[in-house]
Structure 1
């Protein structure tokens, strides 16, 4: 079995961070979201992995390399224009051949991994198997209707009146039959080849299409709110480790990871939290549920429930919370007595200021 990881999306809901980098490389607990997907694939016993890349291909290739550090062998497949999930499969035909494969959307986070799901597919050998999860409001998702035996009866994209509460997650398992379905479908109203349409074609042709219901943790990290929620979830399960320097005037509580080369001076770190290599935290309070990337400077500030990416500076800011701060960003306080705000912001930025 092979795996196909889709990492060509532009990440419009994470702008401006994704203007200069791939959304799949935004870190959760200081590790790119994409790496969690690749590790889950390796844990499922799949080592031959194709990664579909787009405009940020150079960044992804630099981060992942040949995949050997993750226990996999990577082939890169270029999708110049994002024309749908089924289009990504179509352009990957040479890599996939006639083998079964697992398809994983690279910005999804699946708690517990996908090994059990892959084992079930290997055991039962349907022509397609989709991973579903119950959601409170299914109108924002692809929705599956199942029969009493767990076979998929129908798929519908963002229905106004869902027939079930089972949302389609970003993980699928296919036999080579899916290629036939993709050849039979036409672009949707939005001009894309939809994988749900190809699966629906298999259903209508009487093929064996099954589902597994995932009751554990799952998030699509396509927006800031979900990215911060996944960061919280991962940190809650993390253990502490002090490999950097912490002076005697600092206080650490809970599970705190201080990477090698990081320094904490006269500060309070409330776990769960992680401080990246080369970062210096001085006279500050960090956490809980906060990830500070490598080579950052946090001085006389409080940062909580946030993600700060590499090379950024936060100086003299009393309260930052629920924030995603991009690479090489500077956040500072105004001079004493100045009640105005000075902002230099890129496109698609969102700022909330205290009154």
Structure 2
């Protein structure tokens, strides 16, 4: 069994952050989104992993993620010259995949466990495809499945106006080698892409064994700012291990589950968890509220944050209004002039500088 993780695409829904980096490397609780998927796959016992990368961000993905040693895996990088669809990604990875069954995992998704259980089910029933589904309130925004009571998939429809169910396709799939024949037999959609839903529908039409399982845990698609913040909240709620390695002065207060990295100094500040502070940060006269992640090398002076994500080496200085529901890019610099607004909410890209007047 192999794995194929998709880490290409342009990440347009997370701009401006993704003008300068891969969306799959945006951190959730100070860990790149992509790494959660790799860890879940390795936990399921799959260690031979191919990662689809794009020309724009591929080198960054390779540099940060490496050859897989840190995960106990072997990683092969596969360049997709243009984002021509999920099925196209499988097609260009065929040399890596060979005849092996595989899991396909979208690199900007995070799910709550279960991969090993579903893998056993896929193998024991000798399925051609096993897809993951989750009930959603807005099925027209997703690929939707029509499933019989025994879990057999009858039909897949991409973003239907009249959905046959409220079961949306999650970005995780198990496939046998028969998917390659299916992909070779389909044509590009009206979007000009080879759609994985069309390939799966081809298998269904040919009478192949295609089944679905519904996820009961959480599923996080981190493609938008609010989704990213929700993923950060859930990960901090469920996976944060409190630890303090930095220097906390006597006038500071740490309340609840908080992780603070080595080399970080906290002066006259209050941190209320769940929250995570990276390495080599400097915090002075700050309040850091719940569900906040602060990456390495960040400087915060007289700042008040809650339910926000601050990326590496950003600076926030002298903003006395509370910053909430915000994502602050790498090396961004926020400062404030004497006349200040009453409420602040940001989505700020890397290397920005903003002064509020």
Matched residue, 2:89? 88
2:329 counterpart of 1:332:
no
Is the Cα–Cα contact under 8 Å of residues 100 and 176 in structure 2 kept in the other structure?
yes
**Aligned 1:102-141 pairs, distance under 5 A:** 102-141=103-142
Taking the aligned partners of 1:325 and 1:15, their CA distance within structure 2 comes to 12
Alpha-carbon distance change, 314 to 204 in structure 1, aligned in 2, over 3 angstroms: same
Give the secondary structure class of the aligned counterpart of 1:327.
coil
* TM-score using structure 2 length: 0.94
Which of 301, 310, 313 pairs up with 1:311?
A: 313
Q: 1: distance between equivalents of 2:249 and 2:157?
A: 57
Measure the CA separation in 1 of the matches of 2:205 and 2:6: 26
Gaps of 5+ in 1: none
1:19 CA drift (Å): 0.7
Three-state SS of the structure 2 residue aligned to 1:331 is strand
Q: Matched residues in 2 for 1:31 and 1:268: separation?
A: 23
Distance 1:168 1:338, change over 3 A: closer
Contact residue 29 and residue 234 of structure 1 kept, 8 A = yes
Contact 1:90 1:179 survives alignment (8 Å): yes
Among 264, 267, 271, the alignment partner of 2:266 is 264
Map 1:141-290; keep pairs closer than 5 Å.
141-237=142-238, 238-290=240-292
Alpha-carbon distance in structure 1 between the residues aligned to 2:62 and 2:212: 33
Matches within 5 A, 1:41-120: 41-54=41-54, 55-120=56-121
Q: Distance in 1 between matches of 2:2 and 2:340?
A: 59
Whether the 8 Å CA contact 1:134–1:215 is kept in 2: the answer is: no
Matched residue SS, 1:75: strand
What CA deviation, in whole Å up to 9, does each residue of 1:299-337 have, x standing for no partner?
001011000000000011121110000000001111x24
1:113 Cα deviation from its structure 2 partner: 4.6
DSSP-derived class of the 1:328 partner: coil
Q: Distance in 2 between matches of 1:337 and 1:228?
A: 29
RMSD over equivalenced CA pairs, Å: 2.0
Count of residues paired in the alignment? 348
Q: Please give the TM-score of this superposition, normalised by the length of structure 1.
A: 0.95
Question: Aligned with 1:171: secondary structure?
Answer: strand
Distance 1:338 1:30, change over 3 A: closer
Preserved CA contact (<8 Å) 2:257 2:273: yes
The Cα of 1:346 is off from its aligned counterpart by: 6.8
Moved beyond 6 Å, runs of 4+: none
Q: Can you give the 5+ residue segments of structure 2 that lack an aligned partner in the other structure?
A: none
